[in-house]
Structure 1
């Protein structure tokens, strides 16, 4: 799908505030509310916009331990790993990747004991490496036109 300047402006605004009303969006892009609504609906129907969500702080809801768990899953165990580990509630993100590790999991837990139990479950399917997250410099960065067009700014 070819996106024009207006589409990119709408995407930028909605990625920063998914609760923005069509009226507010329309004002920000200098269009009528119906035209803005139609543009956004077209982006949704094309699959460019895949959803809207609240971003919740795991720490503030009782999940202070965050870790990246890398797993080198044995190939025959991949279906069971997807079924039994990737579906666990502690897994916020699960990326099947190339390289030495097959999976990168971002997990949150109530305690280090819970993290230990999670890692022990994952180890049934292969070797693991676990890193505790101290902080995250970038989270949920918007996808921008500059990234798509390969423009690097400093």
Structure 2
């Protein structure tokens, strides 16, 4: 291999690295734009009725709160009679719902957690989770007559 051929091969590798870095940067910008364009309200409009239907009389409130883990984080606040027997069949369906939206809009689009309603309602109870949920927005609440 002559010196000229070696220079040519090195130039090709350098060019490939440059092109590769340009693609990486371009894709990073595209993903940021896509993430910024997630239709949060449309997702919530479709999601809330699904969750209410799934949880039935066990859901007291649905709260949207901020975390760094996802763009939409929801807490399903459940009644005191929500037991492990009830939780088991609901859990998988709830995970399927979250996966559906995460598959459509990206892996960190939606997280849905369950939490008991009473500790959140009781202002004397303090934990990182209850405090975060209290700072969130109640986006659905069971009618007072139904509580």
TM-score, length of structure 1 as denominator length: 0.32
TM-score, length of structure 2 as denominator length: 0.33
Q: Relative to total residues, which structure has the larger helix share, 1 or 2?
A: 2
Q: Which has the larger radius of gyration?
A: 2
